[in-house]
Amino acid sequence: MNDPLGLTALPNLHPAVVHFPIALLVTAAVVDLLALAVRRQRWWLDRTAVLLYFAGAAGAGATYLTGRQAEDSLINVPPSVQPLIAQHADWALRTLLFFALLALARIFLLWFSSRHQRPLATPVRLVALALGAVGVWLLVETADRGGALVYRHRVAVAAVNATEPGTPPTRPPVTGAGGGRTHLQLLADGSLRWIPAPEDSDAIGTVLVPTPGASGAAVRVRSGDGRGLTLDVDGSTVLVLPGSFGDLQVEVLTDLSGFSGNFGLAHHVTAVNDFGVFVVASPGQSSLSQRTPKEDQVLDMSPSVSLASPVQLSISVSSGHLKGMVDGKTVAHGHRTQGKPGPIGLLFEGKGVVRLFSLTAVPLAGNHAL
């Protein structure tokens, strides 16, 4: 679209609103300092500070919400950047909650002072100023992490998101030892990578192992036809890879066009009915959930997802932030504190043919164990 004002250059609303609460809240702290320094006409400085804190807290709320929208609009974010985005979001939430409480406290103090016709005592002003300084520190920490994402890691910069939505990134071929077959690889950074060959008939039981209590017979390898590893699915099971991960990102390139049912990326698997999972259903629905023996807790879901063929499905788990992605775009975003490290795997619930082209698991911030 042609926009003479250049408004369409913004990738989202977050950069348009983020500077307003910073300016308002820093100015509020400065006004508190002025009110402490002067001896006369403090009442209008107090009212100005309260107004600035209220407007700044409201602006911080808008900034946080647009930041969530901006985070979910990013495409093909490198796994190494996901923990940094999570940290920025966590600091932003701390900042928002702190200033919301501070604004409420200042409104109450102003009301109390006006009702009893008593100016705020110097010790109260000192405490208010100290709290404002703490808030400014929170702002600096949050802004520093946001700036690093843009200027150091080029998040939301056009060059990073050059890949068109729906186009899975290409990956170099990997050749294993013997007979041209490919095998599960452990890379130097702790990542697991598997690019299966069509003739990997022993993949079930060697690379993908049924979770104790799961039915391994639900998935069988079909003879190779030159298009990735072909799996015949009839039933429900969870197949896990060797190793154990904490925070991580899992990506699988697959073809689900011949499959009817649920296919998912499971993480922190402790039992056949105890794990987190990002599930896509053959009609095009997706969900992030935590399955336990007692319940299936849905963290977030998307009613309509385009499943191209092949499709890249990913799940990122970083500091309690969970994202389910289709072709690099976030379609489900939830929050849950994860337990101890555990295996990752694939969930099959349905019937039909699933083709696997590649599977990668990348530990985030060094949180992996083998």
**pLDDT tens-digit profile of 73-90?**
888 889 989 999 999 999
Going by C-alpha positions, the residue among 68, 88, 86 that lies closest to residue 319 is 86
CA distances from 69 to 8, 74, 306 (A): 16, 9, 20
pLDDT more than 70, % of the chain? 87
Which CATH number is 211's domain given? Answer: 2.60.120.560
- Whether residue 24 is predicted with pLDDT greater than 80 in this model: the reply is yes
Q: Tell me if 143 is assigned to some domain.
A: yes
Task: Compare 214 and 322 and report the one with higher pLDDT.
Answer: 322
Query: Where a domain ends, among 132, 152, 172?
Result: 152
pLDDT tens for residues 101-135? 999 999 999 999 888 888 888 899 999 999 999 99
Using CB atoms within 10 A of its CB, is residue 7 exposed (0-12), middle (13-18) or buried (19+)?
Answer: exposed
39, 120: one domain: yes
In sequence order, what are the residues at sequence separation of 6 or more whose Cβ sits closer than 8 angstroms to the Cβ of residue 225?
Answer: 198
User: Which tokens in the block code for residue 242?
Assistant: 């060797």
348, 225: one domain: yes
Q: Tell me if 171 is assigned to some domain.
A: no
Query: Where a domain ends, among 101, 134, 152?
Result: 152
CA dihedral over 266, 271, 275, 280, signed as positive or negative: positive
pLDDT tens for residues 147-169? 999 888 888 765 444 444 334 33
User: Which tokens in the block code for residue 356?
Assistant: 């696997």
In sequence order, what are the residues at sequence separation of 6 or more whose Cβ sits closer than 8 angstroms to the Cβ of residue 28?
Answer: 49, 52, 53, 56, 132
Helix, strand or coil, per DSSP, at residue 369: strand
CA dihedral over 257, 263, 266, 269, signed as positive or negative: negative
Any idea what DSSP says for residue 150?
Answer: I
Q: Tell me if 169 is assigned to some domain.
A: no
131, 192: one domain: no
Task: Compare 228 and 287 and report the one with higher pLDDT.
Answer: 287
**307: number of CA atoms within 13 Å, CB side?**
23
Q: How many domains does the chain have?
A: 2
User: Which tokens in the block code for residue 345?
Assistant: 């795997």
CB 204 within 8 A of CB 221: yes
Angle CA(312)–CA(315)–CA(317) in degrees, nearest 5?
160
pLDDT tens for residues 221-265? 987 667 789 999 999 999 999 888 999 999 999 999 999 999 999
Q: Tell me if 303 is assigned to some domain.
A: yes
Task: Compare 302 and 176 and report the one with higher pLDDT.
Answer: 302
Q: What DSSP element (H or E) covers 249?
A: strand 248-271
**Residue 177: band (very low, low, confident or very high) from pLDDT cuts 50, 70, 90:** very low
pLDDT of residue 182: 52
Task: Compare 358 and 212 and report the one with higher pLDDT.
Answer: 358
Q: What DSSP element (H or E) covers 142?
A: helix 122-147
144, 19: one domain: yes
pLDDT of residue 8: 56
pLDDT of residue 243: 86
pLDDT of residue 7: 53
Query: Where a domain ends, among 107, 132, 152?
Result: 152
CB 61 within 8 A of CB 164: no
Going by C-alpha positions, the residue among 201, 260, 207 that lies closest to residue 234 is 260
Residue 63 belongs to domain spanning:
7-152
